[in-house]
Amino acid sequence: MTSEPERAGQEGAGRRSVLAKMTAALAPDLAPIRHSRAYRLLYAGQSANQVALMICFVALPYQAYEISRSSLVVGLLSFTEVVPVLLSGLIGGALADAVERRKLIVVTQVASALSLAGLTANALTVRQLWLVFLFAALLTGSNGIARPSVEVLVPKLVPRDDLPGAAALAALLGTVANTAGPLIGGGLLTGGLPLAYGAAAAVCVVALVPFARMPVQAPEPDADRPSLRGMTAGLRYARGRPDLLGTYLIDIGAMLFGAPYAVFPQLAAGLGGPAVLGLLFAAPGFGSLAVSLTSSWTRHVRHHGRGIAIAVCGWGMAIAAFGLAPDLPLAVLALAVAGGADSVSGLFRMTMWNQSIPARVRGRMAGLEMISYSTGEPIGNLEAGAVATLTGSVPVAVVSGGLLAIAGAAVVSLALPALWRYDAGAPLAAGQADRTGTWPGAGAEADPAVLACHHCWPDSGSR
């Protein structure tokens, strides 16, 4: 017979065991960092680079509004990024499939540091708005060319079973950068624009160290040379994958209608200046951080397309709530909820892409992916700034955008049902070719040269 103290001890041990299991299920998945040295270096470089970019994410619109006193000009500054994003996404995607990736990342990182040095010099001397636009476009282009190479390397450096963890770590990185970067940027702006830009340039240089220490990352042996035909092959592959196409379109719609960032400087000007501006830009990161720190549950989700659609609807509702918020605390809370929904959507998109795109076209598809999430936001900022200026009402601009984002998600889900039906546990979604040699969801119009690739999952590579 078990004594009372023994029973109490067993019950306590049982509770501790349940608590330990719950903690393990909710904790971030660090397996990719533990298993791959090359991934650790890549992640460290990305971390520093993202902080630098997020400081500029606050400083650039702040300077544009300080010079012009117009939310429309802030939106135009964001819109200026569209052309560099389009060009760098296509060019960077083609290069990522054809050249040594580490060298490409290092070269573009140097270009980013020089662009930030130019912004610092402009802030110290002439303070010209056109130079802000110019260096912002150059910074966007250099990072855009590097981004597909970074995306291509992840599945090469990380075993397939660790890819959901890598997606979660990428979301965690974006969350921390999106939270800490704007807060740091807002604090630095209280000391002046030159200090903010100079600090961003210094952090950008620091990112060069882990990038340069990575092992050589050569392209696939049968990689195509960069060419216009190679770029269009990626487009044809995407067209033959309606499930992937849905992830691109639903994200573009969410940002096109729901991005509220262009009105942040106008709101912050009446609420406390740079510190409040940094808080508004950081607020979505609070929600993203909560999702990233509890990301282990995502390993058990199979219907990623449904998760993306539902998360985008959550984003739209939270943005609408932000537009109706009566005070700063509730506005920050609504933005945090929006950031959490956006993080869930991004995590499932990344997992879906990494688990189902063949290695031969992964760079070009990463370029298209970058275009999908990078073009919607600048155009959306222009739309928000224009509506706020024309109507004279920030709430009208923000609430209408949130509601349209929900409508966009519904339209894409109905028009491309393959997105809603996507199942990561199905044989084709798991990266297995069928008897015809085609890839999941590939239609008859897909490029035969692309579909000929039967090695979606290369070895994990140098670690």
Can you tell me the distance from the alpha carbon of 268 to that of 456, in angstroms, rounded to the nearest whole number? Answer: 47
Can you tell me the distance from the alpha carbon of 443 to that of 204, in angstroms, rounded to the nearest whole number? Answer: 42
Can you tell me the distance from the alpha carbon of 279 to that of 190, in angstroms, rounded to the nearest whole number? Answer: 13
CATH number for the domain spanning 206: value is 1.20.1250.20
Task: Please give the DSSP secondary-structure letter assigned to residue 220.
Answer: P
Q: How many CB atoms lie within 10 A of CB 22?
A: 10
Can you tell me the distance from the alpha carbon of 261 to that of 281, in angstroms, rounded to the nearest whole number? Answer: 7
Can you tell me the distance from the alpha carbon of 161 to that of 331, in angstroms, rounded to the nearest whole number? Answer: 39
Q: For residue 4, is it within any domain?
A: no
Q: For residue 422, is it within any domain?
A: yes
> Which tokens is 332 given?
């920050």
Q: For residue 8, is it within any domain?
A: no
- Residue 42: which domain range? 33-444
Query: What would the DSSP string read from start to end of 48-116?
Result: HHHHHHHHHHHHHHHHHHHHH--HHHHHHHHHTTHHHHHHHHHHHHHHHTTS-HHHHHHHHHHHHHHHH
Q: For residue 5, is it within any domain?
A: no
Query: Residue 360: which of 431, 233, 450 has the closest Cα?
Result: 450
Q: What's the structural domain count of the chain?
A: 1
Q: For residue 73, is it within any domain?
A: yes
Q: For residue 134, is it within any domain?
A: yes
Handedness of CA 158, 364, 310, 169 (dihedral sign): positive
155, 457 Cβ separation under 8 angstroms? yes
Can you tell me the distance from the alpha carbon of 179 to that of 368, in angstroms, rounded to the nearest whole number? Answer: 26
pLDDT in tens, 90-129: 788 788 878 888 999 999 999 999 999 999 999 999 999 9
The pLDDT profile of the chain, 463 residues, written as one tens digit per residue, is 556 655 555 555 555 555 455 445 556 678 888 888 899 999 999 999 999 999 998 999 999 999 998 888 999 998 888 888 888 877 887 888 788 889 999 999 999 999 999 999 999 999 999 999 999 999 999 998 998 888 888 888 888 778 778 877 887 787 788 788 899 999 999 999 999 999 999 999 999 999 999 988 777 666 666 666 666 777 778 778 889 889 889 988 999 899 999 999 988 888 888 889 999 999 998 998 888 778 777 777 888 999 999 999 999 999 999 999 989 999 999 999 999 999 899 888 878 877 777 777 777 777 777 776 677 888 889 999 999 989 989 999 999 999 999 999 999 999 999 999 998 777 554 443 333 333 333 333 333 333 233 222 233 333 3
182, 281 Cβ separation under 8 angstroms? yes
Instruction: Give the type of residue at 334.
Output: A
- Of the CA atoms within 13 Å of residue 391, those in its CB half-sphere come to 15
> Which tokens is 80 given?
């200026």
Helices (H), 240-297: 242-258, 264-269, 274-292
Q: For residue 18, is it within any domain?
A: no
Q: For residue 455, is it within any domain?
A: no
